[in-house]
Structure 1
Amino acid sequence: MSEAAGVMRSQSGFISEAGKKDYGPLEFTGKLAGGLRLDLRRRLPLYASDWTDAFKPDNFQKSLSSILYLFIAALAPAITFGSRFLDGTNGQFGVLEMIVSTALSGVLFSTFSGQPLSILGATGPFLAYTLVVYDLAVGADIEFMPFYLWVCMWCSLFTILVAVFDLCALMKHVTMFSEDDIFAGLISLIFIIDGVRPIIENFAEKKMSLNNAMFEALLFIYTFGLATYLSHFRRTPWMLRPIRNLMANFAVTIALVTASALAALYSSDTNLRMLSVDADFSPNLVLSDGSKRPWIVNPMGIDRDFPAWGIAYAILPAIGFAVLGYLDQNLTSVIVNRPSNGLEKPPGYHLDLFVRGALTLPACAVLGLPLSVASTVPSITHVISLTTYEVKQLPQGERKVPTKVVEQRATNFLIHVLIGCALFLAPVLKFLPRAVLQGVFFYMGIASLTGNNLFDRLFLWLIWDASKYPQYHYIQKLPIRRVHLYTFVQVICLAILYGLKAIKETSVVFPFFMASLAIIRKAMRWMFTEEELQQLDAHPAEDQDDEAPSQFRFVTGPWS
């Protein structure tokens, strides 16, 4: 037996060849850097195969399609969030810096992390909190860039300490209540709303004609609709099976290219908003003398001296950033590593956080870049794009079962290399309409809703005939009013989270409320019995007592 083959997954931990039980990935070891060292022990034997598995003959097409799709899927939010950073920070950094951050962070993370299927990038919560840091700097009358550097460096220190002291083990107290339902639902909601909002706002914008607004809306609908249809194409009777698989694997790429070609045909008659990236490869911030700031941020001030007290002042927002980064990174990792995804290689929670704290955070701080973190929607999409599913037909519906996942780090690495190369492809990228990218953004949000229990249970609110309910395991064992009550509590938490993020005055407490979801879940013991919580707050794939029919999930999303 090879050394790599001796590492096996287990719910409670990992079993070595000698049969000796090891600490699980989310257990306290009681030793300094104990969890980090165990993560290295688990992942190092697999490091070579992490680079070669993507290029095996039976994996190559799926790997290639994943690279092309995720390149666009990760570039779209980088551009979208970059424009939001530009507006929210009054030009301190923008699209170019966000693309550099995504590319650099992704290359570092994919090379050294414990779970290379996680995709790093911008997230709505990090955008909101960065704007909080900017407001703190403005309120204190100090330069933002040096202040931001110190915030990131303090955050780097706190993140490393969390990894060294095994604090990722606290994630074992996070259940599906917050992990898969509320947190993943929040990120999906951000992608959906941020995808469709600019299209709706076009009709209220005085500078844009009605014809242009309508055409952008049609491009948005075309991109989303074609990507959704083609992703299901392998399940149709049309053409030969290899062609159907090819079109399904490249669904988003086909939709994006054809939508851009359609826009080009009518470019002379319309004034579409196209992708805009500066070609001079210089930071966005203009200094008082009219020059662009240098790439390396001076920690003691750029335009004026930075006060020493500002270094200590930066600790306060750094704590919030560290809490938010801890939750974003680990919740995404937990979702990626959940048993229902069918992964075989072990995770590395402490290693992931250490790589982010020791490498990606300092790099972004010194270069003055927005922070990138494991982004839930692209990460889920990455896993799905590398997974081969078998759809089992059952009397109550369909059950989608993963049969193989191409687990490796080459696709993640090449995705972010391509994102970096996008900076040099400005003449080509200028032909990408923003409406098409918004369609990809919206598609990712809708696709990531597949399998989210909160939204599965929300759809039950629309079914008034109890005989028509899908046969979820909790439907079979609990009164429907108890299921609806549990869903209602989650909806309230999701609404509060989104409100805290969206409202500028309250966004500073957003990460702390997210952290409190685990406490809220424990407090629900006063509202529900242990049996009810066990049924409602467990992955079907983890429910060992249920019969197979109660473990299926309807295939409601674009992926199949």
Structure 2
Amino acid sequence: MSEAEAVIRNQSGYINHTAKKDYGPLEFTGRIAGGLRLDLRRRLPLYASDWTDAFKAENFQKSLSSILYLFIAALAPAITFGSRFLDGTNGQFGVLEMIMSTAVSGVIFSTFAGQPLSILGATGPFLAYTLVVYDMAVGADVEFMPFYFWVCMWCSLFTILVAVFDLCALMKHVTMFSEDIFAGLISLIFIIDGVRPIIENFSENKMSLTSAMFEALLFMYTFGLATYLSHFRRTPWLLRPIRNLMANFAVTISLVTASALAAIYSSDTNLRMLSVDADFSPNLVLSDGSKRPWVVNPMGIERSFPAWAIAYAILPAIGFAVLGYLDQNLTSVIVNRFVRGALTLPVCAVLGLPLSVASTVPSITHVISLTTYEVKQLPEGERKVPSKVVEQRATNFLIHVLIGCALFLAPALKFLPRAVLQGVFFYMGIASLTGNNLFDRLFLWLIWDPAKYPQYHYIQKLPIRRVHLYTLVQVVCLGILYGLKAIKETSVVFPFFMASLAIIRKAMRFLFTQEELELLDSLPAEEEDGKGLSPEQPDLVNLEKSKENDEGEPAKATMGV
């Protein structure tokens, strides 16, 4: 709770029952919807200023730059994820549906959510589990869209119950042990799903050798250029504003230039292009050749939907609810869960859209882009310390409105080669490895000389064998988690194993001492309070605090995801 909110509460006195204790977002209140009501009371007095603060003279320039930047940063992954949904669901929904889901969910979320800076979009685990739901529908011989409708509606109910009974408080048991494994799963999904279609071009004879080679070159070009440009601000080339601009829009530049390169040689190759209809109709084609209506009939589109399948949808709905609980709670608070359950999930169900959740990387990028830093002299040297964040709803709202307007770009999207989007997907996976403690410790296995180990805080205090043992446990858990996801027969349960990671972490007290766990399962104190990061050191989501910017403005994320 901010100081401004505390002043408002003290002056108004409208929360009398918290005079003895002010419950935080990760505490049980002991009342039905107690946490939800407290969050509403904290936020409602600030609702009007949430729409005006962005347009104040001292905030307008920063807000405008954030809108323009995050619009591109959120649109690129929406297109990329849409192509993956198109392939994985055999055309049930695709790019237009993903863009519409991002736009509609984001507008609703920014209007009603308790944390208005959260940017919505698809995530790797939700993509994977949506494909699991599709496989379940095919295996049960029922229509996917009605089945998906009921899965979303059940998930909506469970999500509302989570908010009503303060179950978000259980997140206090989730530590960095689970978070690093969860982030590792996301990275693996991006990396493996990104490169697999390129390899399959050669192994399954889907196309000629020339076309397969050209797609592989486009894939490598997109990934290589995005990686190089994301670090371009650190080079001595060109002027500083140009370097920052190219780094901020690395993904967009790579996507556009690779598509232009593909267009030059398109007549000589048989490239697979993105399938997008220019008539703004849903992607699914019915047996009579027409497109499905935008509003999904829950009782069946072309054939009646059996009643037993409505109950059958409860199982994957619980999985979706668990997955959403873990994913969303990393970047939101209790009231956001209620908004998502009561509004965004039913809308996606009715319209037949992929689900969008608060995506961690763009959400934190949004916060960074609205943050003003000041340089302070600390014992370890100069550091940039956050001094102000323009917390409001207008930027988030306008970002998603612009994403919705991008639907009018549909005729141009069909010129995007799929290999380019695979390159973006692969880049997202590689870039997201940076700052993941699990992979930082995993890379230590490749360093045979202990004298050359990075000076992480746990390296300085623990025997290296204990560090490697902790890493091995995480690697085994990550392998089991990915294996459960990858095998169709077990894929429906992988969210439940993900939730069990908190229990596994508690059981590790029998393998490690409390002191060892505190060192391995947390950031050092100086990083937690923001004093231990150098201006150029990336944090856990690959964001950079730019040392170069004379005006003290934060650099944007190096990836547009």
Per-residue Cα deviation, 1:111-160 (whole angstroms, up to 9, x for no partner):
22223333322233333333333344444444333232222212111110
**Paired position in structure 2 for 1:188:** 187
Q: Is the 8 A contact 2:163 2:334 kept in 1?
A: no
Q: Tell me, in whole angstroms, the C-alpha distance in 2 between the residues paired with 1:485 and 1:247.
A: 41
Instruction: Return the offset for 1:205.
Output: 5.1
Task: Count how many residue pairs are aligned between Structure 1 and Structure 2.
Answer: 532
Q: Tell me: CA distance 1:298–1:269, structure 2 relative to 1, closer, same or farther (3 Å).
A: closer
> Conserved in 1, the CA contact under 8 Å of 2:331 and 2:360?
yes
Deviations along 1:48-104, whole A, 9 cap, x unmatched?
Answer: 554455556776666556545544544444344434444444443333323322221
Contact 2:226/2:250 (8 A) holds in 1: yes
CA distance in 2, matches of 1:155, 1:109: 17
1:260–1:286 Cα change, 3 Å:
closer
**Structure 1: stretches of 5+ with no match in the other structure:** 339-353, 549-560
Whether the aligned pair in 2 keeps the contact of 1:121 and 1:375 (CA below 8 Å) is yes
Pick closer, same or farther for the CA change 1:464–1:219 going to 2, 3 Å.
Answer: same
Determine if contact 2:103/2:404 at 8 Å carries over to the other structure: yes
Query: 2:96–2:410: 8 Å Cα contact kept in structure 1?
Result: no
Shift of 1:318: 2.0
Residues 447-456 or 249-258, more deviating: 249-258
Deviation at 1:334, TM superposition (A): 8.6
State the alpha-carbon separation in 1 of the partners of residues 334 and 259 from structure 2. Answer: 33
Shift of 1:196: 2.9
Shift of 1:18: 12
Alignment partners' CA distance in 1, 2:346 and 2:484: 28
Contact 1:500 1:507 in 2 (8 A): yes
Task: Identify if the C-alpha distance between structure 1 residues 449 and 406 changes in structure 2 by more than 3 Å, giving closer, same or farther.
Answer: farther
Moved more, 464-473 or 302-311: 302-311
Relative distance call for 1:107 and 1:457 in structure 2 (3 A) is same
Q: In terms of mean alpha carbon deviation, does 61-70 or 33-42 score higher? A: 61-70
CA distance in 1 between partners of 2:404 and 2:325 (Å): 26
Counterpart Cα distance in 2 of 1:248 and 1:205 = 37
Question: CA 1:93/1:235 → structure 2, altered by over 3 Å: closer, same or farther?
Answer: closer
Q: Indicate the larger mover: 212-221 or 477-486.
A: 212-221
Partner SS for 1:305: coil
* Residue 286 to residue 515, structure 1, CA distance change in 2 (3 Å): same
The answer to whether the Cα contact below 8 Å between 1:76 and 1:438 also exists between their aligned partners in 2 is: no
| 2:219–2:422 CA contact under 8 A, matched in 1 | yes
The residue number in structure 2 matching 1:411 is 395
Residue 360 of structure 1 deviates from its aligned partner by 0.7
CA contact 2:372–2:386 (8 Å) conserved in 1: yes
Q: Sort the Cα spacing of 1:243 and 1:77 in 2 relative to 1 into closer, same or farther, 3 A.
A: closer
1:359 is displaced (CA, Å) by 0.5
> Structure 1 residues 363, 416: CA separation in 2 closer, same or farther (over 3 Å shift)?
same
- 197-206 vs 361-370, which moves further: 197-206
1:345-373 per-residue CA deviation (whole Å, 9 max, x = no partner) reads xxxxxxxxx11100011101111222222
Unaligned runs of at least 5 residues, structure 2: 530-549, 553-561
Pick which of 386-395 and 442-451 moved more: 386-395
CA separation of 1:15 and 1:454: change in aligned 2, threshold 3 A: farther
**Aligned equivalents of 2:50 and 2:139: distance in 1?**
47
- The CA deviation at 1:409 is 3.7
Structure 1 pair 186–49 and aligned structure 2 pair: CA distance change class (3 A)? farther
Secondary structure of 2:387's partner?
Answer: strand
Question: Distance between the aligned counterparts of 1:377 and 1:12, measured in 2?
Answer: 36
Conserved 8 A contact 2:278-2:410: yes
Q: CA deviation at 1:390?
A: 9.2
1-structure distance, mates of 2:399, 2:330: 22
CA deviations over 1:360-394 (Å, ceiling 9, x no partner): 11101111222222334444555556567899999
Report the aligned-residue RMSD: 4.8
User: CA 1:457–1:398 in 2, change beyond 3 Å: closer, same or farther?
Assistant: farther
Q: How does 1:179-258 map to 2 (within 5 A)?
A: 179=179, 181-204=180-203, 206-258=205-257
Structure 1 residues 132 and 14, CA gap change in structure 2 (3 angstroms): farther
Q: Deviations over 1:274-299 (max 9, x none)?
A: 33311122223333444322222222
> Over residues 227-268 of structure 1, what are the superposed CA-to-partner deviations in whole Å (9 max), with x where a residue is unaligned?
333333333344443343333333333333333333344444
Range moving further from structure 2, 404-413 or 227-236: 404-413
Q: 1:130 to 1:241 in 2, by over 3 A?
A: closer
- Once the two structures are TM-superposed, the CA of residue 516 in structure 1 deviates from its matched residue by 0.2
TM normalised by structure 2 equals 0.81
| Conserved? CA contact 1:192–1:446, under 8 Å | yes
Q: Deviations over 1:415-452 (max 9, x none)?
A: 33233223221232233333333333333333332221
Shift of 1:459: 1.5
Deviation at 1:401, TM superposition (A): 6.9
**Is the CA contact (8 Å cut-off) linking 1:106 and 1:120 kept in structure 2?**
yes
Q: After the TM superposition, which of the residue ranges 510-519 and 22-31 deviates more from structure 2?
A: 22-31
Looking at structure 1, the residues matched to 104 and 33 of structure 2 have their Cα atoms a distance apart, in angstroms, of 26
Query: Structure 1 residues 497 and 168, CA, compared in 2 at 3 Å: closer, same or farther?
Result: same
After TM superposition, the score normalised by the length of structure 1 is 0.81
Distance 1:450-1:401 versus aligned 2 partners, 3 A rule? farther
Residues 192 and 43 of structure 1: is their aligned pair in 2 closer, same or farther, counting only changes over 3 Å? farther
Deviations 1:181-236 (A, max 9, x none): 11112112222222333333334353434443343333333333333333333333
C-alpha distance 237-335 of structure 1, shift in aligned 2 (>3 A) = farther
Measured at CA, do residues 284 and 426 of structure 1 come closer, stay the same or move farther in structure 2, by a change above 3 Å?
Answer: closer
Q: Deviations over 1:478-500 (max 9, x none)?
A: 11110111011111111111111
The structure-2 alpha-carbon separation of the partners of 1:405 and 1:451, relative to structure 1 and needing over 3 Å to count, comes to: farther
In the TM superposition, residue 469 of structure 1 has moved relative to its aligned partner by 1.4
3-state DSSP of counterpart to 1:22: coil
Deviation at 1:301, TM superposition (A): 2.6
Q: Is contact 2:66-2:369 (8 Å) kept? A: yes
State the alpha-carbon separation in 1 of the partners of residues 528 and 95 from structure 2. Answer: 47
CA separation in 2, counterparts of 1:448 and 1:530?
29
Indicate how the Cα distance of structure 1 residues 192 and 15 shifts in structure 2: closer, same or farther if over 3 A, else same: farther
Residue pair 2:374, 2:386 contacting (<8 A) in 1 also: yes
Distance 2:12 2:26 in 1: 9
Alignment match of 2:467 (pick from 483, 490, 504): 483
Distance 1:547 1:58 in 2: 14
For residues 196 and 425 of structure 1, the distance between their equivalents in structure 2, rounded to whole angstroms, comes to 27
Instruction: Report deviation, 1:402.
Output: 6.2
Q: Which moved more, 1:233-242 or 1:102-111?
A: 233-242
Shift of 1:8: 12
Using the alignment, how far apart are the partners of 1:431 and 1:403 within structure 2?
Answer: 44
Residues 336, 379 of structure 1: 8 Å contact kept: no
Distance 1:244 1:547, change over 3 A: closer
Using a 3 Å threshold, how does the CA distance of structure 1 residues 429 and 65 change in structure 2: closer, same or farther?
farther
SS at match of 2:446: coil
CA distance 1:299–1:256, shift in 2 (3 Å): closer
2: CA distance between counterparts of 1:289 and 1:126? 31
Compared with structure 1, are the counterparts of its residues 158 and 371 closer, same or farther at alpha carbon in structure 2 (3 Å cutoff)? same
Contact 2:5-2:42 within 8 A present in 1 as well: no
Distance 1:171 1:12 in 2: 31
Q: Helix, strand or coil for the counterpart of 2:268?
A: coil
**Residues 242 and 74 of structure 1, relative CA distance in 2, 3 Å threshold:** closer
Provide the residue aligned with 2:70 in structure 1: 70
Change (3 A) 1:297 1:255: closer
Q: Which moved more, 1:218-227 or 1:454-463?
A: 218-227
